Chain A
Amino acid sequence: MFVQQLMNGLILGSTYALIALGYTMVYGIIELINFAHGEIYMFGAFVGLILVTVLKVPFFLAFLLAMAASALLGITIEYLAYRPLRRSSRLAALISAIGASIFLSNLALLIMGSTPYNFPTPFEAKVYETPFFIISRVEILVLLSSLLLMIALTLIVQKTKIGKAMRAVAQDKDTASLMGININKIVTITFAIGSALGGAAGVMVGIYFRTVTPTMGLMPGLKGFVAAVVGGIGNIPGAMLGGILLGIAEVLGAAYISSQYRDAVAFALLILVLLLKPSGLLGKPVQEKV
């Protein structure tokens, strides 16, 4: 039973981790909380849904296309809502982010209406039993794709030239530009990758819970943000850890305390971590950042 709960928490947590990565990558580069990230996640789910149900695109292709579309949306939001404010106060950028979020979720409500859509399972539901837990095909898919995406991201950030440039820009923009790095290009790439991961999470949650709604980005968006802060905002392994911890805490909380407190567990965890380690689990102490 306990192992089963852990497993469920891990699956849910891996989707939070993907969402948290988008927040943390953007924050690492331009120190902005991209409040529209939850809407990018919702957008990814809708693109996947429409491709699969209306256009009959095979699921895996739809999944990749949804990621690409989410990346485009992320790039557009950055270009229209954040870039013009790059040299303004942080408050201005934050308000713009909240505005973008409200705009997008209302736009989705207007276009798609408020009735939930059913996301068909991409293949026949099959459940595998092991001595300790049971797991469905969809769950395996969610877990494996999250894992693969996280490994891919880590390799990109650690090993590729672009990844190293992203880290350089996060550490010192002026010096990075003196290396010949085009800062705007790196910001664009960061939004693209973070948003693609968010869109991937949207599709996965869509098939996992089988529903898609225009407001679905709200709670997971908030929880992804909490996960990023718990792990240490700006820190990529931190976002992965924070997401998975949050998923496990939530499932265990719902199982052993009360399912009514499901969402409250996330925020309790946030407060607890911030009290014990204000910079987050893997975050660096604030003074060191400068």
Chain B
Amino acid sequence: MLRVENVSTGYDNIRVLHQISLTVGEGEIVTLIGSNGVGKTTTLKTISGLLKPTEGKIYFNNRDISQLPPHEIVELGISHVPEGRNVFPRLTVKENLEMGAYTRKDKVEIKKDYARIMELFPQLAQRQKQVAGTLSGGEQQMLAIGRALMSRPRLLLLDEPSMGLAPLVVTSIFEIIKDINRQGTPILLVEQNAQIALRTAHRGYVMETGRIVMSDSARALLQNDRVRKTYLGE
């Protein structure tokens, strides 16, 4: 359903991505792993339209989205949870979630989804009127994910959901990620924590300095010597 074909892009005149290609199919969790600064976030930003590819194409359900602005890409069903849990700090939890449903008009269904997210993240339910900037890191990550779900995405892009969180919180967030996927949403998961990413995903890509250097099933990558040395620290 998502097809990235030979995409290159960068910032100003610095090229960051060099002809990368990847796909995400129906129902899949696909992970993109790699060290700091190799271009994982840049890849997600290019898919969601914050950056435009300078070459190559991106297709979503066979439609070329390479040159669409971000708000149109959201309307097609791609929802991007940015790195560093970018919640709106001075909006309340409730308002943040409402912004997630910005493109939708079906008020009744939005209410239902809101209730569902309150169930999914009980900690948020107790803090609906609190401004998001005062939430803990884990709560902000939950809010960012919940907000993305409010758009009823057909593809979810997650940028380092584990960043800066305590191991226990990471485990519970990844349980939720699996749940979301089981209910039918395909996910492209960017992670530095290769261990948990490969345990969660079906397939994986390994990125080094702006290039995809390996791609395989998650299980195979977990057993690959090079991956184990470089990314799993074994």
User: Which A residues lie at the B interface, using CB under 8 A?
Assistant: 161, 164-165, 167-168, 171-172, 174-183
Contacts and interface: CB of A to CB of B under 8 A. Distances in A.
Contacts of A180: 70-71, 74-75, 102-103, 151
B90 interface: yes
Given A161-B98, A164-B95, A176-B99, A182 B71 contact: yes
Given A177-B69, A178-B80, A180-B71, 9 more contacts: A164-B91, A164-B98, A168-B91, A171-B88, A171-B90, A176-B99, A179-B74, A180-B70, A181-B102
B99 A164 contact: yes
A171 B82 CA distance: 15
A178 B79 contact: yes
A214 to B, nearest CB: 39
Contact of B89 (A161, A165, A171): A171
A164 B95 CA distance: 7
Contacts, number: 65
B99 A168 contact: yes
B146 to A, nearest CB: 13
Interface in B84-98: 86-91, 95, 98
A217 to B, nearest CB: 32
A182 B69 CA distance: 9
Given A164-B99, A180-B103, A175 B71 contact: no
A25 to B, nearest CB: 15
B82 A161 contact: no
Nearest to A175: B86
B210 interface: no
B50 A172 contact: no
Interface string B57-82: 00000000000011100110001101
B50 A181 contact: no
Interface residues on B, range: 20 to 34
Contacts of B80: 178
A171 B100 CA distance: 15
Contacts of B71: 177, 179-183
25 contacts: A161-B98, A161-B102, A164-B99, A168-B91, A168-B99, A171-B89, A174-B86, A175-B82, A175-B86, A175-B87, A177-B49, A177-B71, A178-B70, A178-B82, A179-B71, A179-B74, A179-B100, A179-B147, A179-B151, A180-B70, A180-B71, A180-B74, A180-B102, A181-B99, A182-B69
Contacts of A177: 49-50, 69-71, 74
Contacts of B162: none
B31 interface: no
B48 interface: yes
Nearest to A185: B71
Contacts of B88: 167-168, 171-172, 175-176
B70 to A, nearest CB: 4
Contacts of B69: 177, 182
Contact of B50 (A171, A178, A182): A178
Contact of B102 (A165, A171, A172, A183): A165
A181 B50 CA distance: 13
